[in-house]
Structure 1
Amino acid sequence: MSSANTRNAYFDELFSTEGLLWMGQNTNHIPAHPAVKAAMIASIEASEFNAYAPPLGFEALRAAIVADLGVTGVEAVVTEGGVNALATVCRARCRPGTTLVTTDPTWKWPGLFARQQGAEVIELPIYDAAAGYKLTPEALDRAVDGRTAIIYIVDPNNPLGICYTRAEIEAFSAIARKAGALLVHDCTYRDFADGHYPALKASTENTVVTMSFSKWLGLAGLRIGAFVAAPALAAEIAGFSMGVLGGSVIAQRAALAGLSVKAEWMREVRRINRANQEKIKAAVEALGFAVAVYPSNGNFLVIETLDAGVRPEALVAACKAEGIMIRQGTYHTERFGDRFIKVSTTVPEAWAETFCAKLPALVSTARTLNHVDSQF
Structure 2
Amino acid sequence: MIRPLNPRMAATVPPPVMAARRWLDGITFPEDRPLINVSQAAPMDAPPEGLRAAIAEAALTETAAHLYGPVLGLPELREELAAQWSAGYGGEIAPGQVAITQGCNQAFCAAIATLAADGDEVILPTPWYFNHKMWLDMAGIRAVPLATGDSLIPEVQRAGRLITDRTRAIVLVTPNNPAGVEYPAEVLAAFTALCRRHGIALILDETYRDYHSGKGAPHALFKDPDWADTLIHLYSFSKAYRLTGHRVGAIFAHQDRLAEVEKFLDTVAICPNQLGQRAALWGMRNLGDWLAGERQEILARRAAIEAGFPALEGWHLLGAGAYFAYAAHPWPVASDDLARRLVEEAGVLLLPGTMFHPEGDTGARKQLRIAFANIDAGGIARLFERLSAFRA
Q: 1:272 aligns with which of 297, 320, 328?
A: 297
**Rounded Cα–Cα distance in structure 2 between residues aligned with 1:363 and 1:315:** 14
| 2:173 alignment partner, one of 154, 157, 170 | 154
Match of 2:74 in 1: 58
| Residue equivalent to 1:205 | 229
Distance 1:36 1:55, change over 3 A: same
CA distance in 2, matches of 1:327, 1:88: 27
**Residue 204 of structure 1 aligns to a residue in which SS?**
helix
Cα 1:99–1:11 change in 2 (3 A) is same
> Is 2:52 aligned against 1:32?
no
Q: 2: distance between equivalents of 1:341 and 1:26?
A: 14
Corresponding residue of 1:103: 125
Q: Distance in 2 between matches of 1:315 and 1:248?
A: 39
Identity %: 22
2: distance between equivalents of 1:141 and 1:10?
Answer: 35
The one-letter amino acid of 1:133's match is: L
Corresponding position: 1:227 with 2:254: no
Q: Judge which range, 223-232 or 270-279, deviates more.
A: 270-279
Deviations 1:281-329 (A, max 9, x none): 3334312222112xx3322111221x35565345533554576542222
Q: Tell me the C-alpha RMSD between the 2 structures.
A: 3.1
Shift of 1:142: 1.8
Aligned to 1:373: none
TM-score in terms of structure 1 length? 0.84
What amino acid does structure 2 have at the position aligned with 1:54?
P
What does 1:323-342 align with in structure 2 at a 5 Å threshold? 324-334=348-358, 335=361, 336-342=363-369
Cα offset for 1:358? 4.8
How far apart are the structure 1 equivalents of 2:22 and 2:281?
A: 30
Q: Does residue 263 of structure 2 align to residue 239 of structure 1?
A: yes
- Give 1:258's aligned residue: 283
Taking the aligned partners of 1:284 and 1:6, their CA distance within structure 2 comes to 25
- Segments of 5+ residues of structure 2 without an aligned counterpart are 3-12
More deviation in 254-263 or 179-188? 254-263
Match of 1:178, as an amino acid? Answer: R
| Paired AA for residue 185 in structure 1 | L
Give the alignment partner of residue 292 of structure 1, picking from 300, 318, 322.
318
Q: Which residue of 2 aligns with 1:125?
A: 147
The answer for the alignment partner of 1:72 in structure 2 is: 92
Aligned partner of 1:354 among 375, 379, 391: 379
Bigger drift between 3-12 and 217-226 goes to 3-12
Which moved further from structure 2: 48-57 or 308-317?
A: 308-317
- Asked whether the equivalents of residues 339 and 349 of structure 2 are also in contact (C-alpha less than 8 Å), the reply is yes
Q: 1:312 aligns with which of 314, 335, 346?
A: 335
Tell me, in whole angstroms, the C-alpha distance in 1 between the residues paired with 2:140 and 2:379. 45
Distance 1:103 1:61, change over 3 A: same
Task: Give how far 1:141 is off.
Answer: 1.8
Structure 1, gaps ≥5 residues long:
368-376
Amino acid at match of 1:72: E
Counterpart-to-counterpart distance in 1, 2:205 and 2:17: 25
User: What is the TM-score when the length of structure 2 is the normalising length?
Assistant: 0.81
Alpha-carbon distance in structure 1 between the residues aligned to 2:210 and 2:17: 30
> Which deviations, in whole Å up to 9, do the C-alpha atoms of 1:318-371 show, x marking residues without a partner?
55457654222222124232222212233352xx4234225434554562xxxx
Q: Distance in 2 between matches of 1:261 and 1:6?
A: 35
Counterpart position of 1:216: 240
Q: 1:283 to 1:244 in 2, by over 3 A?
A: closer
CA distance in structure 2 between the partners assigned to 1:117 and 1:267 by the alignment:
38
Deviations 1:45-73 (A, max 9, x none): 33755322321111111112222322424
